[in-house]
Amino acid sequence: MIGSGWSFWLKRRYAASPHIFTHRLRGRHRPNDSGDFTYLSGTPLCDVLDDLRKRGKTLASAPAIDDISLGGWVASGSHGSAGPGAKHMVSPPTHSKFVELGVVDVNGDATRIKPNSYQGQIVLWVKLRTVDNIDIQKEARPMSDTNAEWWLRDDAVQRMLFVNGHDAFLLKWVIHRPLMHSDHRDPHCCSRECGWFQADVLGAMCKGACLKWFGRHALRTWKGVSTLDYAIRFVPRLTPVSALISVLVANVNFELFFMINPRSLLNGQHSLSNLVKVLQKYHSVYGGRSEIRHGGSRDEETLDSYPLMLDVGIVGERNVATYIACLKRYTLWIKNVSVHMGKMDVTNSLVQLGYTVVPRHADGRHDV
């Protein structure tokens, strides 16, 4: 099955024959304006978000790249950057953004299943859980213990943390209230491209430049208000040229998931600051960057652990094992790790370094 094909590009792998493309399986399924948000699986996420916006709706969370297909999103277990604040936007509170899936079962019959029963079947349609497309406001801060505490608060509707060899930046979006100061509205000309470039790419590319440009200027001015549907699409469209350059410079992108108690991230040996220090040590020598996402709530009494998502962009496949060996200094107490099914597969390196690689399902229970 081939949706938009990004996972094959990230894995540097051809799709196995026979090829089934889903690009004609697009649009609303059983169009119905009475609140039925169901789309065919080949529909690009951008089309879905545009259609929802017209109805005053959006998703509480979605992968940051918006030209993936819905089927590719489900099958790869992709996720967004939601914080615990997003969960409380739906009633009853839940992290799952899929309500129901239409799939082909083992007998070749079309059937409907709950997202937590999905086990790699062909996806025909996806019924989405939507939220109101409210205004949210972003803020960026440099890494420190105090700012890590601020980042981990439950008011986060979206949050992400970028780490490179020189800096680490915490980004957080909260619900915009009328009394919150803001003189900046997104989107405007090139706002998505500039925001992504400043926060993610610049620090990984140029030593110190990130601190000078982003750190001193943008951190103070990153207070923009936007609708939620703009904020969740953080990554701009990759042009064929930038996709080719990424291959030519041997850029690799993989993602690891491990369970962690959200409260342990606040201080002590398992703190977010310690993780950032370990990653910075790697990136200061080998370049590249890591992005941390975590939807766990530190205030929810019942929650023992929640996935921490570590998206890694480095140069050269040969450096993957070094990265994981470095990470092990922080994750010494962790045995089980999952890998992102829609990105480069680093299972062998993980197993060689003593981890057990557990499957990750698109069940929506932990996935945000």
Ligand X SMILES: Cc1cc2nc3c(=O)[nH]c(=O)nc-3n(C[C@H](O)[C@H](O)[C@H](O)COP(=O)(O)OP(=O)(O)OC[C@H]3O[C@@H](n4cnc5c(N)ncnc54)[C@H](O)[C@@H]3O)c2cc1C
In the complex, the residues that contact ligand X under the rule CB under 6 A are 1-8, 10, 22, 41, 63-65, 68-69, 71-73, 75-76, 78-79, 122-123, 235, 238, 342-343
The residue type of 107 is N
Residue 158 vs 227, nearer CB to ligand X: 158
Q: Can you give the length of the chain in residues?
A: 368
User: CB 210 → ligand X: shortest distance, Å?
Assistant: 19
Task: Give the separation between CA 138 and CA 116, rounded to whole angstroms.
Answer: 32
Residue 103 vs 211, nearer CB to ligand X: 103
User: CB 110 → ligand X: shortest distance, Å?
Assistant: 12
User: CB 14 → ligand X: shortest distance, Å?
Assistant: 12
Q: Are strands 158-163 and 251-260 parallel, antiparallel or unpaired?
A: unpaired
CB contact at 8 A, 173 and 267: no
Task: Give the separation between CA 142 and CA 286, rounded to whole angstroms.
Answer: 22
Residue 79 vs 176, nearer CB to ligand X: 79
Task: Give the separation between CA 317 and CA 186, rounded to whole angstroms.
Answer: 37
Q: What are phi and psi of 102, to 5 degrees?
A: -100, 120
Position with the least CB separation from ligand X: 72
CB contact at 8 A, 123 and 74: yes
Residue 37 vs 125, nearer CB to ligand X: 125
User: CB 104 → ligand X: shortest distance, Å?
Assistant: 8
User: CB 144 → ligand X: shortest distance, Å?
Assistant: 25
Residue 6 vs 162, nearer CB to ligand X: 6
Residue that is written with structure tokens 């410079």 in the block: 249
CB contact at 8 A, 248 and 5: no
